Amino acid sequence: MADLGGTLWGIGLLLVPVILAVPVRWLFRSWLGNKAKHTRYREAVRRVLNSGSTLSKFRTALDEEARHLHISEDRQSRIETAMLTPLSIVHFIFIPGVTLSPLITLIAAPVYLLTWPLLALCERILIRFGFLLRILKTVMSMTDWNVIGIRQPGHGSTRIDPVLLSIHRLPTPVLLGLFAYLISLYLPLSFTGIITSTVILYVILGSFTTVLTAAVTGPLVFSATAERRLIPLSTFVNEKIQPIVGVGLLALTFRQMMVVIRTPDLTPFESPVQFSLSALAVLYSASLVGLAIEFGYNRRRGELISQSFQDQVAEDMDAELYAYVRKSGQLSLQTIGRLNQRDLAENELTFEEIATAPSAMDNDTVRPEIPDL
């Protein structure tokens, strides 16, 4: 049985990522910008988002605001992306893994390469064979919900930071990596066999969830009329996957720690410290692999997969696309067109906006106003 000191050290090591998340979060906010001019620009973006409009519709006004405040395009992109896809404390647990030594990169690179054939297979099963559409229809029949499209605030924006967007999607693949490792520890395998089993399970689970997340990322929304709720498909998927994986991780980690403390001879570890170090190595390796997969896959295939799934939903369910608008304190859903309609304008203006827009022939032209709620 492990001594008390080793047990406390093992538990303390498992808490290191949570403790590190606090200063990492503070550094992240400083990196985004914490000066008065950055706060002013955030307020301008917030007014656009609260109005229900897309950022692309007010791109000229926002760019002028950024130039007026002497904010670079890179920082402008970071601020807007962070507001569209905010990061929670959970995200900051994984960020240190991305900046660790090249040793983890050497470990993670082969895993990253192994995922690509599985990603292609998952695409074929979920999208081309229509398996995801069948799942969607099953959920609708069980809940009596409808599916509609609501144009996202970042639609058409050219200021989205792809790295921050990938970090926003990071928790699920990282947690699955640690989940696969803890499951493998219960198999009667050598340590090499455990690592191999972890990689195989992670590649399968990570590939599936990556394609699933890419497919449901977009304007698709469940309309729960009886409950007076609109639930984005991406939120619905995360709410179903993350709690299950999170509770499973806590249970498996606690049980494995108890086994290592009481009967270390039945495990590959001689002490709780070794188990904790191995769990941290897997956690940060999964962070790096998950970021590489999310960044690489979504940059190359994410938008295509999302649009393909939207087209399937539009054809099968004749789904409509709406704008969720707030004006003068009133909220409304305004029909834009069919979900898969390609000729929708990026920046839709009302006749009043067109009539009052400044003329290009006017030398005294002023920049477009950001909506005042």
Backbone angles phi, psi at 70, to 5 degrees: 60, 50
Distance CA 12, CA 7 (A): 9
Residue with tokens 């609708």: 140
Average pLDDT along the chain: 82
CA atoms within 13 A on the CB side of 265: 1
Least confident piece of the model among 97-106, 176-185, 237-246, 276-285? 97-106
pLDDT band at residue 358 using 50, 70 and 90 as cut-offs: very low
User: Mean per-residue pLDDT for 278-296?
Assistant: 85
pLDDT band at residue 270 using 50, 70 and 90 as cut-offs: confident
pLDDT in tens, 165-191: 888 888 888 889 899 999 999 888 888
pLDDT in tens, 90-146: 888 888 766 665 555 666 677 778 888 999 999 999 999 999 999 999 999 998 899
Domain spans in the chain, listed from the N-terminal domain onward: 4-32+85-342
**How many C-beta neighbours within 10 Å does residue 28 have?**
18
CA atoms within 13 A on the CB side of 133: 19
Collapsed DSSP state (helix, strand, coil) of residue 3: coil
The pLDDT assigned to 287 comes to 85
60: nearest Cα among 370, 373, 372: 370
pTM of the model: 0.82
The pLDDT assigned to 57 comes to 83
Q: Is 5 exposed, middle or buried (0-12, 13-18, 19+ CB in 10 A)?
A: exposed
- pLDDT, greater one: 277 or 112: 277
Cβ partners under 8 Å of residue 114, min gap 6? 199, 203
